[in-house]
Structure 1
Amino acid sequence: MTQTVDQARSDRALIEEATKKSGLIWVRGAEGPSRALWHVWHEGAVCLIGDGDGEQPLAGLGLVDGGTATVTVRSKDKGGRLVAWEARVVELAPRSEPWTATAAELKAKRLNAPDSDRITERWARECRVLRLEPLGPAAQRPDAMPDGSLAAAPYPSPATTRQEMPAALPRLLRKGLKRR
Structure 2
Amino acid sequence: MTDPQLGQALGQALVEEATKKSALIWVRGPGPGRALWHIWHEGATYLVGDGPGEQPLPGLADGSTAEVTVRSKDKGGRLVVWTASVAELPPHSADWETAVSELKGKRLNAPDAEEMPERWARECRVLRLTPQDMTTDLPSDSQAAVPLPTVATTRQPAPASLGRLLLRRSRPSGD
TM-score normalised per structure 1: 0.87
* Structure that is richer in helix per residue: 1
Q: Which residue of 1 aligns with 2:124?
A: 127
Query: Within the alignment, does 1:152 sit opposite 2:145 as a pair?
Result: yes
Unaligned runs of 5+ in 1: none
- Once the two structures are superposed, the pairs formed by residues 92-131 of structure 1 within 5 Å of their partners are 92-131=89-128
Q: Does the residue aligned with 1:179 lie in a helix, a strand or coil?
A: coil
Partners of 2:69 and 2:109 in 1: how far apart?
25
- Once the two structures are superposed, the pairs formed by residues 47-126 of structure 1 within 5 Å of their partners are 47-58=46-57, 61-126=58-123
CA deviation profile, 1:59-86 (whole Å, cap 9, x unmatched): xx21110000000001112211000000
Unaligned runs of 5+ in 2: 171-175
Larger Rg: 2
In structure 2, relative to structure 1, the CA distance for the partners of 1:163 and 1:94 (3 Å cut) is same
In structure 2, relative to structure 1, the CA distance for the partners of 1:51 and 1:6 (3 Å cut) is same
In structure 2, relative to structure 1, the CA distance for the partners of 1:69 and 1:158 (3 Å cut) is farther
Partners of 2:165 and 2:150 in 1: how far apart?
33
Q: Which residue of 1 aligns with 2:40?
A: 41
State whether residues 81 and 138 of structure 2, in contact with CA within 8 Å, keep that contact through their aligned partners in structure 1: no
Query: Within the alignment, does 1:179 sit opposite 2:169 as a pair?
Result: yes
Work out the percentage of aligned pairs sharing the same amino acid.
Answer: 58
In structure 2, relative to structure 1, the CA distance for the partners of 1:2 and 1:123 (3 Å cut) is same
In structure 2, relative to structure 1, the CA distance for the partners of 1:171 and 1:34 (3 Å cut) is same
TM-score normalised per structure 2: 0.90
How many residue pairs match? The answer is: 170
Aligned residue type for 1:72: T
Partners of 1:176 and 1:152 in 2: how far apart?
33
Q: Does the residue aligned with 1:114 lie in a helix, a strand or coil?
A: coil
Deviation at 1:42, TM superposition (A): 1.1
Deviation at 1:162, TM superposition (A): 4.4
In structure 2, relative to structure 1, the CA distance for the partners of 1:69 and 1:119 (3 Å cut) is same
Q: Which residue of 2 aligns with 1:4?
A: 4
CA deviation profile, 1:109-136 (whole Å, cap 9, x unmatched): 0111010011000000000000000003
Match of 2:135 among 126, 139, 145: 139
Aligned residue type for 2:26: W
